[in-house]
Amino acid sequence: MPSHPDKNLETFPNPTQERDYHIHMEIPEFTCLCPKTGQPDFATLILDYIPDKKCVELKSLKLYIWSFRDENAFHEAVTNRIVDDLATTLEPRYLRLTAKFYVRGGIFTTVVADHRQSGWAPLPSVDLFRFDSQPSTRG
């Protein structure tokens, strides 16, 4: 059965609801149309979220992202619309979308939009010691 663009975002239950954990996705093939010229705009979307009860199903996310291909949208509007749709569907503890649009008229545009669940606060950051991959030359 062939796939086609679809605005329906599907979910599945978060298998580890008791823990905050970070899901990171890179979507390098986002396209929409410039509302002024009708020319295609290309972007890499970087989606980071901390799920609560639901996670996004990847095929539905792919079809959802594909659904913007023939839509006119300013960078700022489409980025915030995607955040709103994902936040409504997933109800995540935290979600950030970074949309890195490729050059148009000599200008790269990056739009970052966040959503935070009411009352949720991140745990303090932990910096882990990194071992150097090169052997020590000290004697």
Q: What is the CATH number of the domain that holds 56?
A: 3.30.1130.10
For residue 82, being part of any structural domain is answered with yes
- At residue 119, the pLDDT reads 93
For residue 135, being part of any structural domain is answered with no
CA angle 27, 16, 30 (to 5 degrees): 10
Q: Provide block-wise average pLDDT over 10 residues at a time, the chain (139 residues).
A: 84 97 97 94 98 98 96 97 98 98 91 96 82 60
Which residues carry a binding-site annotation?
Answer: 56-58, 75-76
Rounded Cα distance, 60 and 54, in Å: 14
For residue 81, being part of any structural domain is answered with yes
Question: pTM for the whole thing?
Answer: 0.87
DSSP state of 93: S
How far is residue 7 CA from its own chain's centroid? Answer: 15
Which residues carry a binding-site annotation for substrate?
Answer: 56-58, 75-76
Total domains in the fold of the chain: 1
- At residue 85, the pLDDT reads 98
For residue 10, being part of any structural domain is answered with no
Is residue 34 annotated as a catalytic residue, yes or no? yes
- At residue 32, the pLDDT reads 97
Q: Which of 20, 34, 52, 55 is catalytic?
A: 34
For residue 29, being part of any structural domain is answered with yes
For residue 61, being part of any structural domain is answered with yes
Q: What share of the chain is helix, strand, coil (3-state, %, to 5)?
A: 20, 35, 45
- At residue 114, the pLDDT reads 97
For residue 93, being part of any structural domain is answered with yes
| Separation in Å, CA 110 to CA 2, 25, 30, 102, 117 | 33, 16, 13, 9, 24
Q: Which of 69, 83, 138 is nearest to 116 (CA)?
A: 83
- At residue 120, the pLDDT reads 92
Q: Which of 6, 20, 32, 41 is catalytic?
A: 41
- At residue 131, the pLDDT reads 65
- At residue 132, the pLDDT reads 64
For residue 18, being part of any structural domain is answered with no
Beta pairing partners, 98: 46, 112
- At residue 31, the pLDDT reads 97
Is residue 41 annotated as a catalytic residue, yes or no? yes
The whole domain housing 46 covers: 25-116
